[in-house]
Amino acid sequence: MTRPIYSAVVFITGCVLFCYSSSVDAATFYKCSSGYSFETNHNDSARCYKPATKQYKSPLKCADVRVPVANKSISHFLIKDYRDYADKCVGKFKAGSIVNENSVELTCPQNYKLEIRRGTDRCFKAVPAKAIAPSVRVN
C-alpha cells in the first residue's frame, strides 16, 4: 500500500470511529426519580415536578392533667366532636357531691397544626411544591 492511500485509510477509519462514538455520547437521556412528574417547556427545558401536598399525623395521646380544684391528677380520654365541635381530651372528677368535667385541647407533634373536621380531627404539615432537574440516567 502506498503512503498516501494508507494515510487516507487511517484518516477515514479514525473519522468513522470518532463520529460513531460521538453520536452515542450525545444521546444521553434523563428521567425523574420516583414521585416526580416530567415536564417540558416547548422542548427548551425540562424539570421534575412534585406538587404541594400535606402530610398528616394523629394528634398526641391525651395525658393526665392535674386539676387544682380536685387537688389530684385526672385521666383524660379523647372524645370526638366534643360539644359538636372539635375533638378534646376530657376528664371527669368529683368535687364534693358534684361531678365536674375538665376538657383540654388536642396537641399536635412539632411543626404540625390541628385540622378540625367532622369526625376525627388530625394534624397536618404543609409540604411546598418542589422542582428539580432530571437526574436519573436512562441509558
Over the stretch 70-82, which tens digit does the pLDDT of each residue have?
Answer: 778 889 999 999 9
The whole-angstrom separation of Cα 55 and Cα 50 is 14
Can you tell me the distance from the alpha carbon of 94 to that of 7, in angstroms, rounded to the nearest whole number? Answer: 107
Tell me if 134 sits within 8 A of 47, measured CB to CB.
yes
Q: What is the pLDDT of residues 83-102, one digit of tens each?
A: 888 999 999 888 778 888 88
